[in-house]
Amino acid sequence: MSSNETPRGPIDSSRIPRYAGPATFARLPRLDEVGTADVAVVGVPFDSGVSYRPGARFGGNAIREASRLLRPYNPAQDASPFALAQVADAGDIAANPFNINEAVETIEAAADDLLGTGARMMTLGGDHTIALPLLRSVAKKHGPVALLHFDAHLDTWDTYFGAEYTHGTPFRRAVEEGILDTEALSHVGTRGPLYGKQDLTDDEKMGFGIVTSADVYRRGADEVADQLRQRIGDRPLYISIDIDCLDPAHAPGTGTPEAGGMTSRELLEILRGLASCNLVSADVVEVAPAYDHAEITSVAASHTAYELTTIMSRQIAASRA
């Protein structure tokens, strides 16, 4: 949209109750209602790459439902993201649930189309397999990108049952394909048992730094965010958030929960500390609502997506000023 156009924001909750009407993200307009968007919120209902509990294919819509309670002004970032830039719900990318290779190609092509309109993507998963095609698409536009990967797990394993494309392998594939800037890669929130020490050795060789959930607890969100900002610099940044970076107390609705995770407060504060970074796109994945009592996970994921969307909207508005 041009600088003199006024973005179309969410439905007015003083006129239509939050529980009424279609559940777009944050009750924003659909992409087809506004024509073009600066930030496109898109779902990818795909979970054929999971290695344990399925159900993340329903995550995007669960996040949308939980996002009904989001409001237009974000006091933590002192911004009204939906007034600064046009944010719209782009619906879902439908991918073949029986053929992972074909699904990966479909997701990449659809992401190419969205990014080709000039939008940044805020993607709602789906399992973490989808990060690879999204990164491929983003790298076509920006070149190799910095990556912040919030997760309980490394997701840099080689294969599962001989399969190269799973939710535990996307970032190894991304490094192998040269679409990540290996000078600016970090995992955040990792914890729990591994297959062996070689997992860490291999991960380090790929260029990843690690901030464990224990590091976040001991050092605090502000110090961690400062460290991450220094590592990223002004590079184009992609943030990928597996909701299991949170402790199961804060995110029970996920496929591979691990004890000892971050709180939702810590995650949100770290993200807010990254507001000056050049965030070009992001995803929130692995929300599995079948295990999500009282929508705890979906609420955390909706607020996480809201903070990421706010960062992108602020940067878009600043670029037009």
- Per-residue pLDDT reduced to its tens digit, 201-259: 999 999 999 999 999 999 999 999 999 999 999 999 999 999 999 999 999 999 999 99
Query: The sheet that has 278-285: what strands, in order across it?
Result: 87-92, 39-44, 120-125, 278-285, 236-242, 145-150, 180-190, 208-212
- Which pair of tokens denotes residue 44? 């990818």
Q: Which CATH class is domain 25-320?
A: alpha beta
pLDDT attached to residue 5? 81
Listed in sequence order, the residues at least 6 apart from 197 whose beta carbon sits closer than 8 Å to its beta carbon are none
Is 1's pLDDT higher than 90?
Answer: no
Q: Is residue 128 part of an annotated ligand binding site?
A: yes
| Other CB atoms within 10 Å distance of the CB of residue 36 | 14
- What's the pLDDT band for 4 if we cut at 50, 70, 90? low
Q: Is residue 142 part of an annotated ligand binding site?
A: no
Longest dimension (CA), the chain: 58
Q: What pLDDT digit, counting tens, does each position of 127-146 carry?
A: 999 999 999 999 999 999 99
Is 2's pLDDT higher than 60?
Answer: no
Q: What pLDDT digit, counting tens, does each position of 196-206 carry?
A: 999 999 999 99
Q: Is residue 151 part of an annotated ligand binding site?
A: yes
Q: What pLDDT digit, counting tens, does each position of 285-315 carry?
A: 999 999 999 999 999 999 999 999 999 999 9
Torsion angles phi and psi, residue 266, rounded to 5: -65, -45
Its pTM surpasses 0.85: yes
DSSP state of 79: B
- Which pair of tokens denotes residue 236? 């184009």
For tokens 């046009």, what's the residue? 86
Do residues 312 and 39 make contact, with C-beta atoms less than 8 angstroms apart?
yes
- What's the pLDDT band for 3 if we cut at 50, 70, 90? low
Q: What pLDDT digit, counting tens, does each position of 146-181 carry?
A: 999 999 999 999 999 999 999 999 999 999 999 999
Query: Is the preceding omega at residue 253 within 30 degrees of 0, hence cis?
Result: no
Q: What pLDDT digit, counting tens, does each position of 95-105 carry?
A: 999 999 999 99
Rounded distance between C-alpha atoms, residue 180 and residue 66, angstroms? 32
Looking at every residue in the chain, the average pLDDT score rounds to 97
Query: Would you kindly state where each structural domain of the chain is located, as residue ranges?
Result: 25-320
269: Cα separation from own chain's centroid: 15
Q: Is residue 242 part of an annotated ligand binding site?
A: yes
